[in-house]
Amino acid sequence: MLEIANDYLKPGITPSRMVGISYSIAVFVPDVNDFFDNDPSSSADLNDLKEEFESYGHQFHMATHTADLTPSSSAYRLLNEKKIDAAVIFDPFVGDSLVEELMNRGIPYLITNGRNYDAAQNYIDYDNRKGAYDVIHYLYGLGHRRIGMIAGPSEHLVNENRLRGCRDAFLQLGMPWNESNVLMGAFDPAHGHQAVKKMLAEQPDITAIFAFNDIIAFGAMKGLAELKLRVPKDVSLIGFDDLKLSEFMMPPLTTVRRFRYDISQLIVKMLTELITNKNISEVNISLKTELIERESCAKVTVREE
């Protein structure tokens, strides 16, 4: 008996393989052409998730979807053509109808990378709202009162969550909220490059910029250099995600770290529980973020003309 147990408990032998159970898991991502090319953080998360599911012997199916889930969408076809045991909605839209569709079909699901704070949903997600809230408080503590935000796509919940975190902080700190201080666009460097030039042309008194991901911040850093503005002496710059490259920028980028190495294991284990344990009514797991202070932010100084 001990020999048999030891054989099963060798590294690489997972519980699902021991009992011959393999689930069919659908992972839905936004229907955006440049989603993977422009967002390496999300690409890394998805790759980790795929490897984790497959290490447990599960089948991994990925499909794209839009907010309104049309019958012609890749997501709708996957739901109709295959028997799906459970689903992960990665980076959902504002007003996303996919959750309701999964619930109507009785398919267990989890949301990640952008939950709805105002609705009852199953999620395992980073607290993007709190992470953005901490950014504004950090910049305020350095004396910044004119803060610009280069945000992502308005229709994505992860962007809305970070935007709401900023609003919460402005309100709590007694600073006036101005929509003109927010420029939305794609999560890519070109948006950061163009937006920072537009923002400072219209509001040259801005002293700090919060880019809603590191990729946007990289583009903004290039734009600031072209404007002959020094980071952080003239303009402080902060990102979100803590990509590996952020530490090696000139100057090294202050950013918000997400502990992505934990989340794939949690998602796989909890999704399996949702499939097998019918007594679980709702899963709500919020993971912390951490502000990583480097050299791209400084106290406010008088900008030289």
Q: What pLDDT, on a 0 to 100 scale, did the predictor assign at position 304?
A: 52
CA distance 215 to 213: 6
* Cβ burial 273-293 (10 Å sphere, 16+ → b, else e): ebbeeeeeeebeeebebebbe
Whether residue 13 is predicted with pLDDT greater than 60 in this model: the reply is no
Whether residue 163 is predicted with pLDDT greater than 70 in this model: the reply is yes
Rg value, the chain, Cα: 21
Q: What pLDDT, on a 0 to 100 scale, did the predictor assign at position 14?
A: 42
Mean pLDDT over the full length of the chain: 89
Residue in this structure with the two tokens 């599911």, named with its chain if needed: 53
Give the pair of three-digit tokens for residue 285.
Answer: 């797991």
Q: What pLDDT, on a 0 to 100 scale, did the predictor assign at position 36?
A: 58
- Using alpha carbons, list the distances in angstroms from residue 290 to 166, 244, 260, 277: 16, 15, 12, 33
Residue 17 or residue 181, greater confidence: 181
Q: What pLDDT, on a 0 to 100 scale, did the predictor assign at position 46?
A: 86
Beta-carbon contacts of 71 under 8 Å, excluding residues fewer than 6 positions away, are none
Cis peptide before 252 (omega within 30 of 0): no
Q: What pLDDT, on a 0 to 100 scale, did the predictor assign at position 81?
A: 85
DSSP symbols for 207-265: -EEEESSHHHHHHHHHHHHHTT--TTTT-EEE-SB--GGGGGSSSPPBEEEE-HHHHHH
DSSP state of 94: T
Beta-carbon contacts of 292 under 8 Å, excluding residues fewer than 6 positions away, are 242, 254, 255, 256, 257
Q: What pLDDT, on a 0 to 100 scale, did the predictor assign at position 44?
A: 78
pLDDT tens sequence across 103-135: 999 999 999 999 999 999 999 999 999 999 999
Q: What pLDDT, on a 0 to 100 scale, did the predictor assign at position 11?
A: 42
CB atoms within 10 A of CB 21: 16
Q: Do 110 and 122 meet the contact criterion of CB atoms below 8 Å apart?
A: yes
Over residues 88-98, mean pLDDT: 92
CA distance 290 to 211: 16
Least confident of 17-26, 54-63, 88-97, 138-147: 17-26
Q: What pLDDT, on a 0 to 100 scale, did the predictor assign at position 33?
A: 53
Q: Do 110 and 89 meet the contact criterion of CB atoms below 8 Å apart?
A: yes
pLDDT tens sequence across 134-160: 999 999 999 999 999 999 999 999 999
pLDDT band of 73, cuts 50, 70, 90: confident
Whether residue 88 is predicted with pLDDT greater than 50 in this model: the reply is yes
Q: What pLDDT, on a 0 to 100 scale, did the predictor assign at position 183?
A: 98
Whether residue 247 is predicted with pLDDT greater than 60 in this model: the reply is yes
Closest CA to 187 of 269, 99, 260, 128: 128
Q: What pLDDT, on a 0 to 100 scale, did the predictor assign at position 19?
A: 45
Closest CA to 136 of 172, 106, 107: 172
Selection from 8-12, 88-92, 195-199, 240-244 with the highest mean pLDDT: 195-199
Over residues 202-228, mean pLDDT: 97
Domains of the chain, CATH where assigned:
2-126+259-288 (3.40.50.2300), 128-257 (3.40.50.2300)
CA distance 233 to 100: 49
The end-to-end CA distance of the chain, in Å, is 80
